[in-house]
Structure 1
Amino acid sequence: MSTKVLIIGACGQIGTELTTALRNTYGFSNVIASDIRKSESDVFNQGTFELLDARDKDAIKACVEKHKITDVYLMAALLSATAEKNPDFAWDLNMNSLFHVLNLAKEKVIQKVFWPSSIAVFGENSPKKNTPQHTIMEPSTVYGISKLSGERWCEYYHKNYGVDVRSIRYPGIISWKANPGGGTTDYAVEIFHEAVQKGSYTCFLRDDTSLPMMFMDDAVRATINIMKAEPESVKVRSSYNIAAISFTPAELATAIQQIIPEFAIAYEPDSRQKIADTWPESIDDSTATADWNWSHEFDMKTIVSEMISNLQRVLV
C-alpha cells in the first residue's frame, strides 16, 4: 500500500513547512493538510486541505477513512508559554488528540503515527549539559507535563498494542517562513524579524540563557527520516532526543551583528524566563544517531545567514 499522509495541525510553525516537505516526498495527492482553521499560507492552496478539530475522534476517523490515510502526523498542540495561560484547554488538546490517534492506530484504522515531544519534558533536576536520552524528568509546565505523559502513553501503546508510534523531542525551532507558536524559545525567531525591520530587539530572556536550538530544515528532515526508518531501527518508542546547537541571546545577537552591525538588543525577562531556567542548556542525541543515523546540518553561522537573507527578501 502506498503512503497516504494526514497532518493534523498543519497550520502551525512546524506543520506548515512539514506539509511542503511531505508533499515533495510523497506527492501532493498523497498528503492531506488539516487544522481547526485554514491558514492564509499558499501552502494550503496547493493541495487538499480539511478543516479538522484534533479533539474530535470521529472527525479524525472520518477524514482518515475518506482519504485512505496510512500515516498520521499529529502536530496540534498548545505550546509552553501559551499553555500556562490556559492549562485546562492545553491538557485537553495536547492529551486527548494523542489518545484519539493512538486508539485509531490500535484499531488498525491507521498504520503509523508521528507525535512530537519537546525538551520541555525535562525539569530543573535534569542534567543541564548534554542532557541524556534517559534521565530525571520532572517538568514544571503544563506543556512539559502533557508531553512527558504523552511519551509514556506512546511507549505503552507500542508495547501493549503494537502501535507503530514514533517521536522526537524538539528543541527550539528557528524558521523564517512561519511565525512562532507561543513557546519559550520564540525569541530566537522574533529577534531576526526585529533586527531586519527595526534594527533592535527587546528579549524576554536573560542574556546568558543558553537553550538548545535547531533550524527548521533540520527539524523537518528528522521528522520525515524517523518515519521512514525501518521499525526495528526505532528502538525508543517514548521519544528521541535530537539536537543541533545551543546558544544564548547574547551570542545570537553578536552573530546577527556580524551581518547587521547596527543591531542593538536589550533584555527584559518575563514569565518565560522561569520556564527556560528549568530546561536543558544542551542535549545528547547520540541514541538517535546510533539508531537511525540522525545528524544536524545547520550551524549558528548558516542559520543566521539563512534567516537574515530570507527575511530581508520577504519583509523589506
Structure 2
Amino acid sequence: MTEKIIVIGANGQIGTELVNALRNIHGAEQVIASDINDPAYAIRNTGPFEFVNVLDKDNLHHIFQKHQPTQVYLLAAILSAVGEQRPKMAWDLNMTGLIHVLDFAVEFKVSKVFWPSSIAVFGPHSPQFNTPQYCVMDPNTVYGFSKLAGERWCEYYFNKHGLDVRSIRYPGLIGWRANPGGGTTDYAVHIFHEALKKGKYESFLSAETALPMMYMDDAIRATLDLMNAPAESLTIRSAYNLAGISFTPTQLAEEIKKIMPNFAISYAESDPRQAIADSWPKSIDDSYAQKDWGWKLEYDLPAITADMLTNLKKII
C-alpha cells in the first residue's frame, strides 16, 4: 500500500529529522510536512508543506480531507520549561490538538497515528531508578500531566474506536540538525554549541543531576521501528518507556573534555528547571519495548559526544 503521511509540528527538534527520514523511505511527495510557522528550507524544498494550526479545527479538517492520510505523526506541543511559563496555553495546545487529530483520524480512517509522550509523565513519587512501565505517576508540570492525560486518550481511542495509536515516552533528546524546543533536558544540546563557540558552558542543572537521554538518530529509529511493528505484537497502547542512557552534566562535560581539553563547565546557582529535573526518573526500564518490537539502543555517551562535535563544527 502506498502511504500518505502528514507530520504535524514538522519544524521542531523531532519533526525536522523525522520528515527527512520518512521522505527517504516513502518518497518526498508522500510525506506532507506541516507546522504553524514557516518551515526550514530543507523541509519546504524537499517535499510538500502545509500551514496547520492544530487548534483550528476547520483548518485541520481541511488538511485531512485534502490529503486523505494513511498515517499521521502529531508532534506539535509546548514542552516542559516553556509550559510552566504559559500553563493554560500548554494544556490547550497539548490536549485539544491531540483530541482534534484523534477525532479526524477516526473520521478519515487513518491506519496509524503516532503521538509522542515523555518521561515527564512520571513525578516525585515514581520510582526514580529503573522506572518501570507501570508505577505511580504523579507529574507536577503542565507538560507532564498533559502527556499523562494524552496517553489515556490514546489508549481510549484504541479501545473505543479501534484507532491504531502508538506512542513513546521519550527521554531527553540530543541532536545537531535542529534547535531544541524549550525542554528541561535542553542543556545537553546547548552545551555542545557553547563548547564550540566559547569553550565553556554554564549549566542550568546541577552537577550531579542524572537524567535519561537519547541521541536523535536512536529516537528516530525507535519511532519508525514502533510504527513498523505488527499491531498484534504491541501490548502497550498508552506509551512505551524508552530508556536511552543516563548521565549528569559533569559526566557529559568530561566526555567533551576528552575531545576539547580546555573546555570548562560551571553551574547556575538556581534555575526553575532544576525542580522539574529533580521530579523526573534517573533511569528507565524499557523492557516492554525490547520485548514487543525489538528495541535496542545504539549510541552511548562517547558516540553521542563525538558525533555532536563533529557535525556541529561544520555548521557553527
Q: Aligned residue for 1:297?
A: 298
Alpha-carbon displacement from aligned partner over 1:24-66 (angstroms, at most 9, x marks no partner): 1111010000000112342222110001101122222211221
- State yes or no: 1:213 paired with 2:213: yes
Q: Aligned residue for 1:248?
A: 248
- Alpha-carbon distance in 2 for matches of 1:153, 1:219: 23
Q: Which runs of 5+ in 2 are unaligned?
A: none
Q: Aligned residue for 2:179?
A: 179
8 A contact 2:7–2:74 mirrored in 1: yes
**1:202 Cα deviation (Å)?**
0.3
List aligned pairs for 1:221-300, cutoff 5 A.
221-268=221-268, 269-300=270-301
Moved over 4 A (4+): none
Q: Aligned residue for 1:165?
A: 165
2:66 alignment partner AA: K
**1:235 Cα deviation (Å)?**
1.4
Q: Aligned residue for 2:72?
A: 72
**1:242 Cα deviation (Å)?**
0.8
TM-score, scaled relative to structure 2: 0.98
- State yes or no: 1:61 paired with 2:61: yes
8 A contact 1:64–1:110 mirrored in 2: no
SS at match of 1:279: coil
8 A contact 1:209–1:276 mirrored in 2: yes
SS at match of 2:202: strand
**1:106 Cα deviation (Å)?**
2.4
- Alpha-carbon distance in 1 for matches of 2:263, 2:145: 37
Quote the sequence identity (%): 58
List aligned pairs for 1:99-118, cutoff 5 A.
99-118=99-118
2:311 alignment partner AA: N
1:87 alignment partner AA: P
- Alpha-carbon distance in 2 for matches of 1:153, 1:142: 16
Q: Which runs of 5+ in 1 are unaligned?
A: none
SS at match of 1:214: strand
**1:160 Cα deviation (Å)?**
1.2
2:45 alignment partner AA: N
TM-score, scaled relative to structure 1: 0.98
CA RMSD of aligned residues (A): 0.9
SS at match of 2:129: coil
8 A contact 1:70–1:111 mirrored in 2: yes
SS at match of 2:113: strand
- Greater CA drift, 64-73 or 172-181: 64-73
**1:82 Cα deviation (Å)?**
0.2
1:276 alignment partner AA: A
SS at match of 1:185: helix
- State yes or no: 1:202 paired with 2:216: no
**1:228 Cα deviation (Å)?**
1.0
